[in-house]
Amino acid sequence: MDAFVYNAAPTRVIFGSGTLAALPGEIERLGRRRALVLSTPHQRGEAEALAAALGGLAAGSFSEAAMHTPVAVTAAAVERVRALGADCTVAVGGGSTTGLGKAVALRTGLDQIVVPTTYAGSEMTPILGQTEDGLKTTERAEAIRPETVIYDVDLTLSLPVALTVTSGMNAIAHAVEALYARDGNPVIGLMAEEGIRAMAGALPRLAADGGDRAARSDALYGAWLCGTCLGAVEMALHHKLCHVLGGSFGLPHAETHCVVLPHATAYNAEAAPDAVARVARALGTRDAAGGLHDLARGLGAPTALAALGLREADLDRAAEIAAARPYPNPRPVARDAIRRLLGEAWQGRRPI
């Protein structure tokens, strides 16, 4: 076996049904007394209800979290923290809310508790993507990693099927890239393959019946594994492209992952054959890239960047941004090759 380095994540994880009831005890376990509950505007009601349920343990709520973590929104949240004297945050929701909690923690040092209601996986990482002046930048630091994550299957039962599907494909992307990451290791490889298997097996069942509790549990388990992978190793081409398309062109986060993942996998197939073979095995198919495309299409997820609103005229600039400062990747990132990849993804062609 080749030499490797493995760092175990220190985040405390509570998984099950009805586990939200553990939240007051977790706030107190951290030695905190005034939690600021964070959410998006869409989940304002849930955030306010949770703050009310926490009673004296809640400082209040802030419900302006937005996709791609705009720096201006973070500044407003930090002002709210200081005005209320909050000593920790509780992020309830998906990747946008989790990102806001991380951004606040980076600037204030506050402890974080995350209660995911989607399959984003960001809660298990020390990674923060922020957007300012039309560019999305990424930071990695232990100060960004949440202290506690509470996975409550009950909170995912009402997740709309369309969001379930795109969020789940987003999670799979984390594990796919972990299998060919430059700093990958055998432990994370096992988690990645199991995470892909669990999520890919759960999503068709949820597309048929969003209230399938067993499938919801499997999907949340898969999301935890995939998120752990993302937090343990470096990101590569797929995430770079999604960061460019989201941060510079405003494309929706999870939907963009659905479209790009099969094409990034095909791009790296010859340079990382063993990793891509493991992806195929986890999917139960012979062709990893085609299998990912077929999975997304079969679930009704988007498969073309054009459908997400990207103009064909923007493809050249997107390729230039992605190639200018690439993430480590098994296959060298060349501007012309990336432009071809984006062209295929824009049209929604099935990769080979």
Per residue in 228-262, pLDDT (tens digit) is 999 999 999 999 999 999 989 999 999 999 999 99
Query: What rounded mean pLDDT belongs to the chain?
Result: 96
Say if residues 39 and 81 touch (Cβ distance below 8 Å).
no
| 201 in the same domain as 128 | no
Q: Where is the domain boundary, 122, 156, 190?
A: 156
pLDDT beyond 90 at 224: yes
Question: Any idea what the CATH number is for the domain that residue 116 is in?
Answer: 3.40.50.1970
How far is C-alpha 345 from the chain's CA centre?
Answer: 20
- Note whether residue 1 is domain-resident: no
- Give the pTM: 0.91
| 41 in the same domain as 190 | no
| 118 in the same domain as 45 | yes
pLDDT score at 304: 98
Q: Where is the domain boundary, 101, 123, 156?
A: 156
pLDDT beyond 90 at 17: yes
| 147 in the same domain as 209 | no
**150-177 confidence digits (pLDDT tens):** 999 999 999 999 999 999 999 999 999 9
Question: Any idea what the CATH number is for the domain that residue 201 is in?
Answer: 1.20.1090.10
| 325 in the same domain as 190 | yes
- Note whether residue 269 is domain-resident: yes
| 17 in the same domain as 68 | yes
**50-96 confidence digits (pLDDT tens):** 999 999 999 999 999 999 899 999 999 999 999 999 999 999 999 99
- Note whether residue 306 is domain-resident: yes
| 136 in the same domain as 115 | yes
Count of beta carbons in the 10 Å neighbourhood of residue 164: 23
| 37 in the same domain as 96 | yes
Instruction: Determine the average pLDDT of the residues in 201-222.
Output: 97
- Note whether residue 5 is domain-resident: no
Say if residues 96 and 69 touch (Cβ distance below 8 Å).
yes
**101-123 confidence digits (pLDDT tens):** 999 999 999 999 999 999 989 99
| 141 in the same domain as 277 | no
C-alpha span between 294 and 265 (Å, rounded)? 13
- Note whether residue 248 is domain-resident: yes
pLDDT score at 6: 77
Listing from the earlier edge strand, what are the strands of the sheet with 88-93?
12-16, 148-152, 111-116, 88-93, 35-38, 58-62
| 209 in the same domain as 121 | no
Q: Where is the domain boundary, 156, 180, 198?
A: 156
What range does the domain containing 142 cover?
12-156
Beta strands in the chain (DSSP E): 12-16, 35-38, 58-62, 88-93, 111-116, 127-132, 135-140, 148-152
| 260 in the same domain as 119 | no
- Note whether residue 7 is domain-resident: no
| 270 in the same domain as 252 | yes
| Number of domains the chain is built from | 2
